[in-house]
Structure 1
Amino acid sequence: MSEGDTGDGRPATFGEVFAVREFRPLFGTYTLSTIGDELARVALTVLVYQRTDSPLLSALTFALSFLPWAVGGPVLATFADRFPRHRVLIASDVVRALLVAAMALPGMPLALLLVLLLMVSLLAPPFESARSALMADVLEGERYAVATSLTNVSLQVAQVVGFVVAGGLVTVLDPSVVLLLDAATFLVSAVWLAATLERRPAPVAALDDGVGDGSPSSVWRDAAEGLRLIGRTPRLLSIIALLWTGTLFANAAEGIAVPLTESLGEGPAQLGVLLAANPLGVTVGGLVVARLLGTARSERLMPVLVALSLAPVLLAGLVAVAAGPGRGAYAVVVALLFVAGLGASWTIPLNVSFVQAVPAAYRGRAFGVAVSGLYGVQGLGALGAGLAAERVPPGAVVAAAGGLGLLAVVPPLLGFARTRAAVAGDGPAAGPSVS
């Protein structure tokens, strides 16, 4: 029995999860780095919009940190299975700290800033895949389910803090200072992880750098193994389809948050609050899912939660179009985005279902595929919203995202319901397991 297993099948408590020694640094560094990332993302987005007055370029800046997942995420994520996962985490943080610090150099041209941002984003796939896989290594059963809820809540809290603080900081500080704060979070994270994580061998070490048939391994072949595992498992396919589709439409409005806030007659400080509304809702919803509903009940309520994550987005867009500038309209839009966040907690039980269907030795690659698509659709959604907002009011774009999303999630929801009885290992194996 692992350190993360309760051993008697009973629901785990928050205290039992935090009692797992290696969960604490994984949880704490993830929260810290996320806060720093949101500070930098908002600062750069505002900076680009101020220089260009273009919703499309502003959305491009916001989306740039997501797009590398879509381009190279499945390949880059294989490092989480090819190398010791603790080393992947530490090395990624150190390099990102150096790159973000370079972004803070005075007089940095805008084009070079975006190139450095892209390079920082390329390190996210191996880091996130290693972190997610290591979480499943140190925690099992109900402790893993509760830890997943806590991590998702942590993500949303970090985004709330990051967005709100960023909205205030960009009004009083130079963006370079905000970027240095982000670099510091990566450095602290690297030191914390190096001091606390257990040294484990690479998950594929037992395969002698091959795939069990004498043929040499490569990042391309490892990535293909992850894709084949998902392609052969109906349960995994249904989970990923629901995750990608729901996220695409629910988060598209983030890419045009700056022009949307401006259309409501508000400024940078209110931008941070608007961006924080949805993550705050997910925080509250995540706590309910973790301790009150439980994984099984949350799965049964999935259609209701998914609808709740999209219908308020539709209403928020309609309010923005109909009301126009005015603090009353802004407050209603923020409230509706908060409610949408409550529904978005459906991703927590979905994450647990995904882990249960993936063999341990392939979690890095499988997470890489899932998260690559997740970030990819977020980036594409932000870009699509920015492109549409060049011609139509931002509120109309938000309403369209919510309405289209409600229609688009119906097929993947039906697929998820049909495969609910499936268990891990039902699909053909993608390769030998070293668990």
Structure 2
Amino acid sequence: MDQRPTVRDVVGVAEFRALWIAHAQSRLGDQLARVAIAILVFDRTSSALLTAATYALSLLPPLVSAPLLTGLADRFPRRRVMVTTELTRAGLVAVMAIPGVPLVVLAVLVVAVVSLQPLYSAARNAILPNVLEGDRYVVGVGLAGATDSVVQVVGFAVGGVLVTLTGSHVAMGINAVTFLVSATLVRVGVGLHRPTGGAPRTVGRSVTAGVRVIWGDRRLRALLGLLYLYGFYVAPEGLATAYAAETGTGDAAVGLLMAADPVGAMLGSLLLTRWLPVAWRERSLGPLAVVSAVPLAVSAVYPSVPGAIALWTLVGVLSSYTMLVHAMFVRLVPDAQRGQVVGLASAGLQASQGLGVAVAGVLAELSSPARAVGVMGVAGGLLAVLAGRSWSRAVGRARGGGTGLRRSRRW
């Protein structure tokens, strides 16, 4: 009988509990700030393109910063890296919270804050597999993903109302406080977690070694292909403000539209970790990636807020396959290079999301927000077919060579 670890088993691990709570409350602040920035820019400019471009600024900088910074998570104690990063981001966001900050300054600060995100994520992702053993790790990743979705829902749903009542500076001030709380929880509740050693000591060598790890394993390359498809599926978040305006609804609907995908992701994470048989995890990735695109294409036919909420929620359910992709990827990477390699992968994911939102913004400016969402869905579905075939070939070759997949069933 399949005796899977329970959520209680995972939460009972003290270090995971500290990491989990710290990240969850920090993400809540992030979502409040994200809604605040989107509404602020659209109110000042009335431009879907500029609003999407500003939203993309919260996703694209890691493409540059991750290769430069994430190797630090393999050279210094990972707790120290996380605490330092959180304190720095708290200070930057506190400046963003000052009322009347010009949009140009706000954009620069957004870039600075987001540029530090890969370093925090690299250290956290490197710690988790050492804190949670065996299938506890998959359950822990699923729980973290579901919790992340919950706080996104709360942040998005409350964000529009909060900004309407108090202004954007309050939401960003709350975000600054959550970074301070996160730093405190990590400092008190998590061990140092020194890297195992062997990591390159320069940025260039660290990046080169990380790229070689990814390029040298067909499974890692195929998993990244499946992961980066999410850049198409996240497009509605960047267009939520313009979509609400197109359908004649107010700012309060913006948060609800943004919350649709996280709600679905929460449900999907729970379904995949608790109900999907372990033996089916590998073979389900390609099909789930393809069908994730269908609701986006459908939502372009009859634009409406209720319909979009339902369809975009379904996208979140289906695209939660990325949680399994993440868990499989991290477990394949050696601890000594996990910070750099996972940081590079995470940077690519954020970059794909930023590019997806930016492209969707251009399409919305040329046509309409609803049509832009539909085009992104069709394009994502076509590429998902290719990515799924690549993953199937990588799995088949690994089986044929007698490597990896016996281990993968424990992910």
- TM more than 0.5: yes
RMSD: 1.8
What amino acid does structure 2 have at the position aligned with 1:194? R
> What residue in structure 1 maps to residue 27 of structure 2?
34
What amino acid does structure 1 have at the position aligned with 2:55? F
TM-score between the two structures when normalised by the length of structure 2? 0.94
> What residue in structure 2 maps to residue 431 of structure 1?
none
* Counterpart check, 1:55 vs 2:30: no
* Counterpart check, 1:241 vs 2:229: no
1:266-345 to 2 correspondences below 5 Å? 266-320=249-303, 329-345=304-320
Q: Is the 8 A contact 1:236 1:354 kept in 2?
A: yes
Superposed CA offset, 1:296-340 (max 9, x none): 3233222332233210011012222xxxxxxxx221111111111
What amino acid does structure 2 have at the position aligned with 1:53? S
What amino acid does structure 2 have at the position aligned with 1:371? S
The offset of 1:253, in angstroms, is: 2.2
> What residue in structure 2 maps to residue 130 of structure 1?
123
The offset of 1:109, in angstroms, is: 1.5
Stretches of structure 2 lacking an aligned partner (at least 5 in a row): 405-411
The offset of 1:425, in angstroms, is: 11
Report the number of matched residues: 402
> What residue in structure 1 maps to residue 367 of structure 2?
392
The offset of 1:426, in angstroms, is: 5.5
The offset of 1:355, in angstroms, is: 2.0
Q: Is the 8 A contact 1:101 1:179 kept in 2?
A: yes
Give the Cα–Cα distance (whole angstroms) in 2 for the partners of residues 106 and 69 of structure 1. 27
Superposed CA offset, 1:72-99 (max 9, x none): 2122111111111001111111111111
The offset of 1:281, in angstroms, is: 0.7
Q: Is the 8 A contact 2:286 2:384 kept in 1?
A: no
> What residue in structure 2 maps to residue 220 of structure 1?
204
Give the Cα–Cα distance (whole angstroms) in 2 for the partners of residues 288 and 180 of structure 1. 35
Superposed CA offset, 1:273-295 (max 9, x none): 11101110110111111111144
* Counterpart check, 1:347 vs 2:331: no
Give the Cα–Cα distance (whole angstroms) in 2 for the partners of residues 169 and 294 of structure 1. 41
Give the Cα–Cα distance (whole angstroms) in 1 for the partners of residues 343 and 171 of structure 2. 29
What amino acid does structure 2 have at the position aligned with 1:359? P
Give the Cα–Cα distance (whole angstroms) in 1 for the partners of residues 43 and 220 of structure 2. 43
Runs (4+) of structure 1 exceeding 6 A deviation are: none
Give the Cα–Cα distance (whole angstroms) in 2 for the partners of residues 234 and 118 of structure 1. 33
Identity of counterpart residues, as a percentage?
A: 38
The offset of 1:384, in angstroms, is: 0.8
Give the Cα–Cα distance (whole angstroms) in 2 for the partners of residues 136 and 347 of structure 1. 17
Decide which of 104, 110, 120 is 1:111's aligned counterpart: 104
Q: Is the 8 A contact 2:61 2:351 kept in 1?
A: yes
Give the Cα–Cα distance (whole angstroms) in 2 for the partners of residues 407 and 22 of structure 1. 41
Stretches of structure 1 lacking an aligned partner (at least 5 in a row): 1-7, 212-216, 321-328, 428-435
Q: Is the 8 A contact 1:81 1:361 kept in 2?
A: yes
Give the Cα–Cα distance (whole angstroms) in 2 for the partners of residues 367 and 200 of structure 1. 16
The offset of 1:56, in angstroms, is: 1.2
> What residue in structure 1 maps to residue 408 of structure 2?
none
The offset of 1:341, in angstroms, is: 1.1
Give the Cα–Cα distance (whole angstroms) in 1 for the partners of residues 156 and 253 of structure 2. 10
Decide which of 168, 181, 184 is 2:174's aligned counterpart: 181
Decide which of 74, 77, 95 is 1:81's aligned counterpart: 74
Give the Cα–Cα distance (whole angstroms) in 2 for the partners of residues 85 and 295 of structure 1. 31
Decide which of 248, 251, 255 is 1:265's aligned counterpart: 248
Q: 1:107 to 1:333 in 2, by over 3 A?
A: closer
